[in-house]
A = this chain, B = another copy of it.
Amino acid sequence: MPVHSGLLRLATEGDGQIVDLTSGVASVVRQSGAREGVATVFAVGSTLAVTTMEYEPGGVQDLTRALERLLPAEGDYAHNRLNHDTNSHAHQRASIVGPSESIPVVGGELALGTWQQVVLLDFDDRPRQRSVHVHVIS
Contacts and interface: CB of A to CB of B under 8 A. Distances in A.
Nearest to A103: B42
Interface residues of A, number: 59
Given A3-B37, A111-B44, A79 B102 contact: no
A92 interface: yes
A94 B66 CA distance: 12
A66 B123 CA distance: 16
Q: How many copies of the chain does the oligomer comprise?
A: 3
A69 B66 CA distance: 12
A79 B85 CA distance: 33
A36 B133 CA distance: 12
B113 A91 contact: no
The 10 A-B pairs with the shortest beta carbon distances in the complex, nearest first, are: A58-B79, A58-B78, A58-B82, A45-B113, A46-B54, A104-B133, A61-B78, A46-B116, A53-B95, A104-B135
11 contacts: A38-B40, A40-B104, A45-B116, A53-B94, A58-B81, A58-B88, A62-B88, A97-B98, A100-B102, A102-B102, A106-B133
